[in-house]
Structure 1
Amino acid sequence: MSKWNLIKFEFYLCISIIIFLMFPFSFLRAEVISINVRENSKLQIGEEFEFLEDKTGKMELETVQKLDTWQKSRSNFISTGFSTSYYWFRFSLHNPTKKKLRLVFDTGFSRQDRFEFYEIYKEGNIKKTVVGDLYVFSKRPIKNPNFCFPIEFEAGSSVQYYIRTHSIRNAFRLTPSIYGLEQFQEENTKKTLINGIIYGSLIIMFVYNLFLFITIKDYSYIYLAFVIIFYFFYLLCLHGISFQYFYPNNI
């Protein structure tokens, strides 16, 4: 091979590699990415998600499973904003241990009209769970402000999971995580403590400003008190606490 031909070969090889690397691999992948998990897992798995937009809302599970237009998520924080579209997400978990695993899938989100969770086992069995703001709180498999689901699978097995979500009243966001049962309880204890401190501080500030208004008669304090109490109730709604305790059956 002459020197000139060698240069041309190297040039075309570099161009081919660049084009190959720039090509969206998510469009080539028909299989779900598998994530290894263990009993004491505490994993953020958003980057392992794949998603698909359904603008018509007519796609069924059997349809989306066959599509090769899934796109790879690039962040553990997933947000679609306000949208009238339906969105599908998928991921797969693998149990590399020699015993049955019982874990918790936490979406990290509590405000969605409809949230469908599908568990697809290799035997062909499909388990579907539907939760959301349009459904009573008591129907949730785990009594938590966030949408949380218990998952379990046998030693050495893999399970695929699909999510279908839709909401016209709330912006959608997702910070999905996998927890062992003990880790999930610890995480919830921390969240409850932190939220309790925040809520308690706001109530104290509200009462203090209300007291100042009563004693000093300065209307600026009553305005501030109203701002604080409104923010307090906003946080209760944002964290899903109001739906859980104040109107769990009001759909």
Structure 2
Amino acid sequence: MRLCVVVLVAGFALLSMVANAAGLSVISGQDVAVPTSVPPANIVGVDRLKLDDHFELFEDPSAQLTFEQVSSEAFASNFRPLNGESSNFGFSNSAWWVRLSLVNPDDHPRKVVVRQDYPLIDWLDAWYTGKDGQLRHIETGDNRAFHTRPVDHRLFLLPVELPANSERTLYIRLQSQGAMNIGLFVHDPVDIMNMALREYLSLGIYYGGFIVLLLYNLFMYLTVRERAFAYYLVYLASYGLYMSIHNGISFQFLAPDVPLLLNKGLLVLLGVSLFGGTLFSRTILNTSEITPKGDAIAYFLQIGALVATVVSPFVNYHLMIIPLSVLTVAICVHMLVLGVLALARGTGTARYYMIAFSALLFSVYLYMAKTFGLLPHNFFTQNAFQIGSLIEMVLLSLAVASRLNELKTESFTDALTQLYNRRYFNDQMTIEFTRAAQNSQDLSLVVIDIDRFKHFNDSHGHARGDSALKAVAGILKSTVRKPNTVCRYGGEEFVVILPETSTADSIAVAERIRCAIEKETGPSFALTASLGVASLQDGQFESAEALFVAADHALYHAKASGRNRVIGYHQEQARPMADQRMVGTV
């Protein structure tokens, strides 16, 4: 609601064109119109007009010339039109002067707004003749307090009123330590108000998405304590704040009276976002295992981002922004390479990561090409970072969710055999037992123990024993089909959950498993296994644990009867009072 109020207030301010007196000074004099080589911009019947064909430029490398000098008739010939060239000049120490004429051929006075649509201009001065015939001087820019702007808006808006049948010439001086992008438009007051409403609504949605993602990832980190979520929080928070300075929102709402803090913060936050993004990428892609050399390069780039973050507040913006821009491109390229390597390893997270960072990388290149003057300054190139980051945010959230699923899978997976582990078995067995009891369905359980495995380990070593366990796990995977579930219970013991399977069918499955283990491990390991089977048909079992104890009791009898066999639990047998696995002789 606060954003809506701000938008409406800004809209009415634009519509009424009430200039902020703190940002204006009045100089006695007449209109400074001089002959120009481009036609004046006709404001009648136009809602919005791009002014590239209507203004001329002069570059002042010394940045020392005054308005009186450049507006003199003797100086007029020094201005040059764009002639279709870009008005984006990359990083420049020069001051750039714009000469622009507006004409009102109507019989009624007209109000218009001249917009400079790049918000990161350090010093912007404008001179034009007001309706009272006095020469007005506006001194503003992002290195000056926000209240110096004649209209409260994230961009630089200059309200101009032209009397009937008149022509006015504007001189605008722009100077910045960062990129020099000159994008001038003239608007009807209603059009600029509507544009502001749409912009602030879009920005509200954009930053609302940031806040939702921040809260979501904070909650996930507090829940699972996974480092990737913490690193993503650092990246997301710093990048969101960076973008709020980059598009001018922070100058209006967060710190309107301390522009120096925001200008220094722009580089600091960019460094922090690069640091957090690199750390997040290394963690979520597990690069230390996938590509140790690539991970080492990423580590040094990460350190470079950290150094840039620490140094930025104490170094001139112009000196720092260029190496930081190069570092941004280098990190994005390397993260893309790491994503390709992770994708080649087949990780699910890498798919989302690759698409996300491809979108961001493309937007970074567009914006950097504009920053260095290789592409024109327009809506798409100016907002490429924002558009790309929005796509990236959504896709990285999917990557984080994929990572969470991987972590969940890892927590339920036995590291050696890649079968489900005991934790998963306990949860799944409870679920299947409850379902079978509610629906009056069959449920059987097979408990498998490799015969004399301790002796095998002692004789052949643990490495050989691990290989044998992997071989048995592979046999179980190929022999047991879904919806049946195979788990490693612990040590050399495995279990198979058989939903909707009768006693006779479960014994047949167990016998098939026994034969497969004996046959397929014969040449390499010569293993056999004993199997115990229990089914809900065999008795009134009160819990999943009771069914397991019954199957384990049957396994005990299989071992006691000579091993390498399958024995089913029968209701006529005495109920076991304890888990027979505690008997050391089996």
TM-score, reference length from structure 1: 0.81
Q: Hey, what's the Cα distance between the residues in 2 that align with 1:39 and 1:30? A: 23
Q: Hey, what's the Cα distance between the residues in 1 that align with 2:90 and 2:157? A: 21
Which 10-residue stretch deviates more, 229-238 or 34-43? 34-43
Q: 2:221 aligns with which of 213, 225, 238?
A: 213
CA separation of 1:239/1:122 partners in 2, compared to 1, >3 Å: closer, same or farther? closer
Q: 1:44 aligns with which of 47, 50, 55?
A: 50
Q: Does 1:132 align with 2:138?
A: no
Gaps of 5+ in 1: 1-28
CA separation of 1:182/1:80 partners in 2, compared to 1, >3 Å: closer, same or farther? same
- The within-5 A match list for 1:13-32 is 30-31=36-37
Deviation at 1:58, TM superposition (A): 2.1
Deviation at 1:188, TM superposition (A): 0.2
Q: Hey, what's the Cα distance between the residues in 1 that align with 2:103 and 2:57? A: 20
Amino acid at match of 2:142: D
RMSD: 2.2
Are 2:100 and 2:170, in contact at CA under 8 Å, matched by a contact in 1? yes
Q: Does 1:195 align with 2:203?
A: yes
Deviation at 1:116, TM superposition (A): 0.5
Superposed CA deviations along residues 166-220 of structure 1, whole A, max 9, x for unmatched, are: 122x212122111111111100000001111111111111211221111122111
Amino acid at match of 2:65: M
CA separation of 1:142/1:129 partners in 2, compared to 1, >3 Å: closer, same or farther? same
Are 1:145 and 1:239, in contact at CA under 8 Å, matched by a contact in 2? yes
CA separation of 1:150/1:204 partners in 2, compared to 1, >3 Å: closer, same or farther? same
Deviation at 1:75, TM superposition (A): 5.4
Superposed CA deviations along residues 71-98 of structure 1, whole A, max 9, x for unmatched, are: 2224596322221111111111000211
Corresponding position of 1:63? 69
Which 10-residue stretch deviates more, 44-53 or 156-165? 44-53
Corresponding position of 1:117? 126
Corresponding position of 1:35? 41
Corresponding position of 1:7? none
CA separation of 1:33/1:40 partners in 2, compared to 1, >3 Å: closer, same or farther? closer
Amino acid at match of 1:165: L
Q: Hey, what's the Cα distance between the residues in 1 that align with 2:102 and 2:155? A: 21
CA separation of 1:219/1:47 partners in 2, compared to 1, >3 Å: closer, same or farther? farther
Are 1:122 and 1:159, in contact at CA under 8 Å, matched by a contact in 2? no
CA separation of 1:178/1:156 partners in 2, compared to 1, >3 Å: closer, same or farther? same
**What's the secondary structure of 2:223's corresponding residue?**
helix
Gaps of 5+ in 2: 1-34, 260-586
Q: Hey, what's the Cα distance between the residues in 2 that align with 1:143 and 1:122? A: 21
Are 1:32 and 1:160, in contact at CA under 8 Å, matched by a contact in 2? no
Report the structure number with the largest CA radius of gyration: 2
Deviation at 1:62, TM superposition (A): 3.2
Deviation at 1:164, TM superposition (A): 0.7
Q: Hey, what's the Cα distance between the residues in 2 that align with 1:223 and 1:147? A: 36
**What's the secondary structure of 2:239's corresponding residue?**
helix
CA separation of 1:136/1:121 partners in 2, compared to 1, >3 Å: closer, same or farther? closer
**What's the secondary structure of 1:206's corresponding residue?**
helix
**What's the secondary structure of 2:158's corresponding residue?**
strand
Amino acid at match of 2:43: V
Are 2:123 and 2:139, in contact at CA under 8 Å, matched by a contact in 1? yes
Which 10-residue stretch deviates more, 189-198 or 67-76? 67-76
Identity %, equivalent residues: 26
Deviation at 1:126, TM superposition (A): 2.2
Corresponding position of 1:99? 108
Q: Hey, what's the Cα distance between the residues in 2 that align with 1:35 and 1:44? A: 9
Corresponding position of 2:241? 233
Deviation at 1:125, TM superposition (A): 4.3
Corresponding position of 2:167? 158
Amino acid at match of 1:221: F
Size of the aligned set, in residue pairs, is 222
Corresponding position of 1:72? 81
Q: Hey, what's the Cα distance between the residues in 2 that align with 1:76 and 1:177? A: 16
**What's the secondary structure of 1:51's corresponding residue?**
strand
Which 10-residue stretch deviates more, 157-166 or 66-75? 66-75
CA separation of 1:62/1:122 partners in 2, compared to 1, >3 Å: closer, same or farther? farther
